[in-house]
Copies of this chain bind each other. A is one copy, B any other.
Amino acid sequence: MTTEFVGVPADWSVAQTLQHIREVERSRETVYAIYVLDPSSGQLQQVVTLRRLITGAPDASILSVAQLNPPVTVDPLLDQEEVARLIRRHDLLAIPVVDAQRRMLGIVTVDDILDALIDESTEDVHKFGGVEALDRPYMQIGFFEMLRKRAGWLSVLFLGEMLTASAMQHYEQELARAVVLTLFIPLIMSSGGNSGSQATSLLIRSLALRELRLRDWWKVALRELPTGIVLGGILGVLAIIRISVWQLGGLHDYGEHWGLLALTIGAALVGIVTFGSLSGSMLPFALKRLGFDPASASAPFVATLVDVTGLVIYFSIAALILRGTLL
């Protein structure tokens, strides 16, 4: 925000205002929007653009060239993204910041917003990558500060991911009996993480751009459920083809129950991708609901969330399909 704006009393004429602008032009951030104030209370009454001002008759009142709509104003506490949204929607070059009594505190110009948007977008990508946002260019961050920005989240995610080791321990007997099951663990887990990361990236932006509100979560859930099932189905078919080709082509022997194994992998993929899409899309809503920035839902965070559940889904489906044969 800058306080270097042009404000004139509502009883001035066009010529008076133009003369004033000529005098103060060099000391003002912008003179393209002129704020017309009530002479006694100082409240913001109207906005006049310079382009309209120069078309006015010199003796006419400044109000004769004012915009017809009441001025769009913002509260000093409104966040930058919201200010950017208003500036874009109303095609403004600056927006006045007013207090509760509609007295002008300053203006936010489109330049400020441009800078803010670029910073915001850097921050969003950093956060989505699972790093604390850097406030300076990469090469200007000291070695230890860089470590600090990354080690925090990396360790938190690592502690969360430790649950996978616990889940695996829980299934250690099954693993010992059917080592072939372990071969597909990375493949299955990463697919859950990837589908989750896709859904999260879509919903983060939809919430940031106000295309969706908090109360729309169920509409999204109802879309992600079938989407996840079909996406999981596609990957499941790919996996079954892969296993069959390797088995029948003699590239690898998955044992006599390879058909059931392929079915297990396929079914697990449907379950895990569906769970990934659903939880990846619900996470930004949940964060918003809890008062956090939905953009804090990073890809690694989603992957961690999905990994543990993914293992449980995989081993449950395996127990169901392979009981009596491999397990």
Contacts and interface: CB of A to CB of B under 8 A. Distances in A.
B51 A31 contact: yes
A131 B223 CA distance: 16
Interface string A107-125: 0001101110110111011
Taken together, the copies of this chain in the complex come to 2
A242 B50 contact: no
Contact of A252 (B139, B169, B200, B230): B169
Interface string A160-183: 011011001100100110011011
B51 A204 contact: no
A93 B33 CA distance: 13
Contacts of A169: 183, 252
A256 to B, nearest CB: 16
Interface in A60-118: 84, 87-88, 91, 93, 110-111, 113-115, 117-118
Contact of A172 (B51, B165, B183): B183
Contacts of A84: 114, 118
Interface stretch (A39-47, A285-293, A300-308, A317-325): A300-308
A32 B54 contact: no
A13 interface: no
Which 7 A-B pairs have CB atoms at the shortest separation, nearest pair first?
Answer: A129-B201, A299-B299, A121-B121, A137-B211, A164-B186, A194-B300, A168-B183
